[in-house]
Chains A and B, each alone.
Chain A
Amino acid sequence: EADIYQTPRYLVIGTGKKITLECSQTMGHDKMYWYQQDPGMELHLIHYSYGVNSTEKGDLSSESTVSRIRTEHFPLTLESARPSHTSQYLCASSDTRTAKNEKLFFGSGTQLSVL
C-alpha cells in the first residue's frame, strides 16, 4: 500500500479564491508529480519535481504553481481559482534511485469544484 496522502479529498470553492492542495509521502521518494484528470478520464502531467528546490512544468500548461521545500511535501497552489480549474488533481511519487524507478505511487486525489 502506497503511503502518499492528499488533502482535502473534496473542495468546493468560489471563483477568485486562493487554494492549496496538499500532498505528502512518507516513502522517502525523491521525485514527485501532479497530474490533472479531466472528466473524460485523461491524465495530464502539470508539474513535477526531482527533489528539494526543484520544480518543472509538465506536458499540460497550468496556471497552478508548486513548491518543494521538503522532500516529503509537494503542495499545489492556485492563486485565483476559476471554473475552468474544476478537475481531479492527483499527486504521485517515485523513487528514481531504485531499479523500478519508473513506478508511480498515486494518492487518492483531490476533486476540486470552482463555482
Chain B
Amino acid sequence: GENVEQHPSTLSVQEGDSAVIKCTYSDSASNYFPWYKQELGKGPQLIIDIRSNVGEKKDQRIAVTLNKTAKHFSLHITETQPEDSAVYFCAAETGANNLFFGTGTRLTVIP
C-alpha cells in the first residue's frame, strides 16, 4: 500500500520569506498528488495539485514540484503572509482512488 512521509512537522518563517514542505511516497503507481490547507476549526481545503505527467505547477504564490523517479514532491510558498499560517497536508492517490495523506506540517508565518 501507499505510505506518504512529510517534513518538516513544524515550520516557522518570517513574513515575506519562502516556505518549502517536502513529501515522499512509496507506491510508484500513484499518479495524483494534491496539497490541502487546514485552518483552525475547519476541514482541509485543496490548494493545488499535480499529476505525474507534469513536473511543476504554479498558482500565484504557490508552486508544486514532482520528481516521479525519486518519488518525492514539494510545496513552495513564496512571499508568505500571516494568512498562510495553517496546517498543510500532502497526499498521494492510492489504488482504490482514495487519498493517503502525509502527517501534516504546521506553518507559522511571523509578522
Contact = CB atoms under 8 A, between A and B. Distances in A.
A102 B32 contact: yes
A58 to B, nearest CB: 7
A41 B104 contact: yes
B111 interface: no
Interface residues of A, number: 25
A96 B98 CA distance: 11
Contacts of B100: 45, 59
B44 A102 contact: no
Contacts of A103: 34, 46, 49
Interface of B: 1, 32, 34, 36, 41-46, 49, 87, 89, 93-94, 96-101, 103-104, 106
A109 B87 CA distance: 15
18 contacts: A4-B43, A35-B101, A41-B104, A42-B103, A42-B104, A43-B104, A44-B101, A56-B96, A92-B43, A96-B97, A102-B32, A102-B34, A102-B49, A104-B99, A106-B42, A108-B41, A109-B42, A109-B43
A90 interface: yes
Interface of A: 2, 4, 33, 35, 40-45, 48, 56, 58-59, 90, 92, 96, 101-104, 106-109
Question: What 4 A-B pairs have minimum CB-CB distances, sorted nearest first?
Answer: A106-B43, A41-B104, A43-B101, A106-B44
Contacts of A35: 101
Nearest to B101: A43
B9 to A, nearest CB: 8
Given A102-B32, A104-B99, A109-B42, 12 more contacts: A35-B101, A41-B106, A42-B101, A43-B44, A43-B101, A43-B104, A59-B98, A90-B43, A102-B93, A102-B97, A104-B36, A108-B42
Given A41-B104, A42-B101, A43-B101, A104 B1 contact: no
